């Protein structure tokens, strides 16, 4: 889970021109619930999707205070491994 979110975050920041991010300093899964399938989608052969909440902390620049972001993602186990869909930041 952490690896998927880190990879997604790194790619998003690189796309924005911020190539300094490598990994979170701290990552904590806060909980998961089974997600309802989207309209017109069955589960097929893939596993049921789960919406998971997490808190990720990183230091953006040396000498700057740590930043903690609360996020939500949809995870699904497929025959190719675990997939991740970013559902955005969530209010506290």
pLDDT digits (tens, 9 = 90+) for 58-85: 877 778 788 888 999 999 999 989 999 9
Residue 76's pLDDT is: 94
CB atoms closer than 10 angstroms to residue 10: 16
Specify the pLDDT at position 55.
95
53 in Cβ contact with 71 (< 8 Å) = yes
> Residue 38 has what pLDDT?
67
pTM > 0.85: no
In this prediction, residue 91 carries a pLDDT of 47
pLDDT digits (tens, 9 = 90+) for 19-65: 777 889 999 999 999 998 766 555 555 678 999 999 999 877 778 78
The first and second tokens of residue 7, run together, are 């990879």
């Amino acid at each position: 889970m952490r690896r998927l979110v880190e990879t997604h975050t790194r790619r998003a920041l690189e796309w924005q021109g911020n190539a300094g991010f490598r990994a979170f300093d701290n990552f904590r899964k806060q909980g998961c619930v089974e997600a309802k399938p989207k309209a017109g989608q069955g589960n097929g052969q893939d596993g049921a999707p789960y919406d998971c909440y997490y808190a990720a902390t990183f230091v953006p620049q040396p000498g700057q205070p740590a930043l903690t972001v609360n996020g939500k993602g949809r995870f699904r186990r497929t025959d190719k491994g675990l997939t991740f869909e970013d559902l955005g930041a969530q209010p506290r």
